[in-house]
Structure 1
Amino acid sequence: MDTGQSTSNQINNTSKLKGVYCSNWLLLLAIIYTLYFAQSLIIPLVLAILIALLLNPLVTNLSKMHIPRAISSVVLLAMLTTPFTIIGVELIEPAQKWAKLIPKLSVHVNEQVESISGAFEEEVKETQKLDSSWFNWFSRSNAPKPKQKPANLVTERIKQGGMELVIDTLGATPIFFAQLLGSAILILFLLIFGPSLFAAFVKELALKEQREKAIHLVEVTQKQLSTYIITASLINLGLGLSTAIALYFIGLEDALLWGVIVAVLNFIPYIGSVIGVVILSMAGMVHFGVTLSAFIPVAAYLLLNIIESQVITPTAMGKKMLINPLVIMLWLLVCGWLWGLAGVLLSVPLLVCIKLVLSELGIWTNWLRVIEAGKQN
């Protein structure tokens, strides 16, 4: 009887473990499904929280000087967004010009590749004729000639792809501006009403230790995340400005546009520099032609990028903010799949925030050691 009861208990325990395991997977799939299909809501919310954490210390200090939070929030947000708006308006015309030139460059490069491949095929045919002339008496019939594809097929496809890209970009523009507007409204509400809401939440906690821990967690996360965002923004601004100056002296048109693109792409670790190399290569070929001079802008950008990534960023960030590169790549892939380009841009600040919260709460220490760089035993 005891053996039967123990066997039934083991079966029950196994079935319970399987049930818990399946429920955990179902919960994970439900979370992924929600994150994927609610991106239009989540992206403005995450962006608003990050910027609110960045501006909240300034608003708090101004409130101590008897300046209302509503006035200081509006002024600070306007000061933050005005430079980006001015630069964006100035760069609309050159961006449109280059957007029209890139498909033409693709067609030009394709024509050159076709001419080179055609010449190579002719050489191969001549060589085959010479080789086969010694063995013509073996052949009994002439082989049919293969049909050649139309020369302009790839060219037309490139033009069609360029038009599709323009149409997709124009279609996504209203959604982009709607998300920006929603983020701005959320930032103002978080800055104005967020502290009182958080104070009411903390007051509802039963234990004093919990209240102190919640306040400490928010303060530390806000301070360190603000330091990270400001430092990374200044580094990327410096890289973009130095790249624009270098490209100006090289003679590449619209150097400011390329500097802004480089600065934005540098928020994406590793992948951003690769995209920057591709974009500057195409820009160099448009301006200088398909020659060795076309790669001078790329060489200047790579030199500045190596100095930034190997010297400036490690020195400014310090070991405390470093994250395992493999974790960053996997996180970029996940955020890019869930939320597209916006998710890629927000992925690293979000990962830094998660790392800080895990570190302060002292939970999931194994995962924290995986995320951190240079601290594995």
Structure 2
Amino acid sequence: MRVEQSERIERRLEPASLDRARRTHEPTLEYQRNRLLAGLCLMAGIGLLLGVPFALRAGAEFFLPVTAAMVIAIALVPLLEWLERRRVPSGIAAFLCLFLFLVIANAALASIVVPATEWFRALPERIPQIQANLAPVIDFYSNLQKFVDDTVQMLAKGPVAAAQASAIAAPSSIMDYVSSAPHAAIQLFFGMLVVYFFLSGWTRLRERTITSRGSFGGALATARVIQNVVDSTSAYLGTITVINAILGALVATALWLMGMPSPLMWGGIVALLNYVPYIGPILAAILLALGGLMTFADVWVALTPAAIQIGLHLVEANAVTPAVLGRRLTINPLLILLSLSFWAWVWGTPGALLAVPLLIIIQTIAQAAGKPDIAGFLFEEGTLVAPGHEPDEGDD
């Protein structure tokens, strides 16, 4: 009798105990499933990050002009919106923005490229003067003296001397260079079309992207990200362009007072290379030192242009740029170096010029969307750090 009662009690308790065990076991299964999915997502993301650079490098003929055109178009969006607020049609406003950019870019590059051609052709003739200027230093380094002598002989017999002897007329604008390179002309034309169609359809594209969100919060977040990307990119490029132009003008004025030929070309080189952080100013100083050695007989006077550029750059980089840009566009120097080395490896010199704008765009989107939390995945439970979220002290 007691055995039968015990069996009936066990049968009554069995569903409850099974239910408790199931409820206890379900979170464990869900947790394992989430960890597995998160691990797969992280592995897929790492694989994508490893594969994208090689794809970008292999497809540089397509990706480089498209990326450069998108960065330029984003920087021109504030001017486009300013024209549209004054009832200028989108197509005409886009054409005016593109035309203004091309005029300024062509004038700036032509002022650099045309005189630089003459300096390059005069280099073989000026190498003995450079050697004579550096003689006090070279005397301490006999091996360097031999290297310079070998270099002089190589340049005297190499393609540079042949280029000097040729009677090819110097180009009058950047379009002359493009016309001699049909491949570059096609890429330039393709990039201009991307800029134009992006700007002409910007208003509709932005409205369609925002209104296609499924909730008001999603639409608001999308609008905020788009506006932040445009504001950050245009503010950085616009501010840096003005600062670089002023820096180039100051260097050109100083060189003009010294009597150095082609001061506008040197000022343009300084302004252009200043877009490339860290490496650009160093390269500009080396070129100015070379130009000074080609021009002036005294070695200390010859190095003065480079010293002027270095002094002005130190003031600009440590006082002017931080004060103008402020904290809103402050970027970690390590990220700048990584971005510079990455994009320079992928696309060369154009990639180095695009490194900081692309870093700003990626950083702005990442701050809004959240960043992968690899450390959290390895040691805790999180896989994505949402913007503005800080874990509570009681969180496990």
TM-score range, shorter chain: 0.7 to 0.9
Aligned to 2:107: 86
1:50 aligns with 2:71: yes
Pick from 171, 179, 184 the counterpart of residue 192 of structure 2. Answer: 184
Report the 3-state secondary structure (helix = DSSP H, G, I; strand = E; otherwise coil) of the residue aligned with 2:348.
helix
Quick check: 1:107–1:158 contact (8 Å CA) kept in 2? no
Give 4+ residue runs of structure 1 displaced > 6 Å after superposition.
15-22, 111-121, 149-152, 163-166, 365-369
Within a 5 Å distance, the mapping from 1:120-131 to structure 2 comes to none
The farther-off stretch of 179-188 and 305-314 is 179-188
In the aligned structure 1, how far is the partner of 2:99 from the partner of 2:154?
Answer: 44
Within a 5 Å distance, the mapping from 1:127-138 to structure 2 comes to none
Q: State percent identity of aligned pairs.
A: 25
The higher radius of gyration belongs to 2
Shift of 1:173: 5.0
Aligned to 1:155: 152
Q: 1:255 to 1:342 in 2, by over 3 A?
A: same
Aligned to 1:312: 320
Quick check: 2:130–2:294 contact (8 Å CA) kept in 1? no
Within a 5 Å distance, the mapping from 1:95-244 to structure 2 comes to 95-106=116-127, 109=130, 153-159=150-156, 160=158, 162=160, 174-244=182-252
The count of residues paired between Structure 1 and Structure 2 equals: 328
Structure 1's unaligned 5+ residue stretches are 1-14, 122-148, 370-377
Aligned to 1:352: 360
The farther-off stretch of 35-44 and 89-98 is 89-98
Pick from 30, 37, 42 the counterpart of residue 58 of structure 2. Answer: 37
Shift of 1:20: 7.8
Report the 3-state secondary structure (helix = DSSP H, G, I; strand = E; otherwise coil) of the residue aligned with 1:35.
helix
Aligned to 2:329: 321
In the alignment, residue 323 of structure 1 is paired with which amino acid? I
Q: 1:218 to 1:245 in 2, by over 3 A?
A: same
In the alignment, residue 81 of structure 2 is paired with which amino acid? T
In the aligned structure 2, how far is the partner of 1:202 from the partner of 1:301?
Answer: 46
In the alignment, residue 155 of structure 1 is paired with which amino acid? V
Q: TM-score, normalising length from structure 2?
A: 0.72
Shift of 1:350: 0.9
The farther-off stretch of 274-283 and 285-294 is 285-294
In the aligned structure 1, how far is the partner of 2:349 from the partner of 2:366?
Answer: 26
Shift of 1:151: 9.9
In the aligned structure 2, how far is the partner of 1:151 from the partner of 1:61?
Answer: 56
In the alignment, residue 363 of structure 2 is paired with which amino acid? K
Structure 2's unaligned 5+ residue stretches are 1-35, 165-176, 376-383, 386-396
Report the 3-state secondary structure (helix = DSSP H, G, I; strand = E; otherwise coil) of the residue aligned with 2:265.
helix
Shift of 1:259: 0.2
Cα RMSD for the two superposed structures = 3.8
Shift of 1:161: 7.0
In the alignment, residue 104 of structure 2 is paired with which amino acid? P
In the aligned structure 1, how far is the partner of 2:76 from the partner of 2:182?
Answer: 27
Aligned to 1:60: 81
Aligned to 2:27: none
Report the 3-state secondary structure (helix = DSSP H, G, I; strand = E; otherwise coil) of the residue aligned with 1:323.
coil
Pick from 333, 341, 350 the counterpart of residue 342 of structure 1. Answer: 350
1:271 aligns with 2:292: no
Shift of 1:218: 0.3
Q: 1:164 to 1:207 in 2, by over 3 A?
A: farther
Deviations 1:313-350 (CA, angstroms, capped at 9, x unpaired): 11001122122222212221111110000000010111
Q: 1:120 to 1:72 in 2, by over 3 A?
A: closer
In the aligned structure 1, how far is the partner of 2:218 from the partner of 2:37?
Answer: 33
Q: 1:237 to 1:173 in 2, by over 3 A?
A: farther
Shift of 1:293: 1.3
Aligned to 2:174: none
In the aligned structure 2, how far is the partner of 1:196 from the partner of 1:312?
Answer: 38
Shift of 1:305: 1.1
1:259 aligns with 2:280: no
Shift of 1:198: 3.5
In the aligned structure 2, how far is the partner of 1:110 from the partner of 1:281?
Answer: 13
Quick check: 1:106–1:158 contact (8 Å CA) kept in 2? no
Shift of 1:95: 1.5
In the alignment, residue 252 of structure 1 is paired with which amino acid? M
Report the 3-state secondary structure (helix = DSSP H, G, I; strand = E; otherwise coil) of the residue aligned with 1:246.
helix
1:287 aligns with 2:295: yes
Q: TM-score, normalising length from structure 1?
A: 0.75
Report the 3-state secondary structure (helix = DSSP H, G, I; strand = E; otherwise coil) of the residue aligned with 2:303.
helix
In the aligned structure 1, how far is the partner of 2:358 from the partner of 2:197?
Answer: 21
In the aligned structure 1, how far is the partner of 2:44 from the partner of 2:112?
Answer: 51
Shift of 1:203: 3.2
Shift of 1:99: 1.1
Report the 3-state secondary structure (helix = DSSP H, G, I; strand = E; otherwise coil) of the residue aligned with 2:371.
coil
Q: 1:165 to 1:222 in 2, by over 3 A?
A: farther
1:299 aligns with 2:307: yes
Aligned to 2:18: none
In the alignment, residue 235 of structure 1 is paired with which amino acid? I
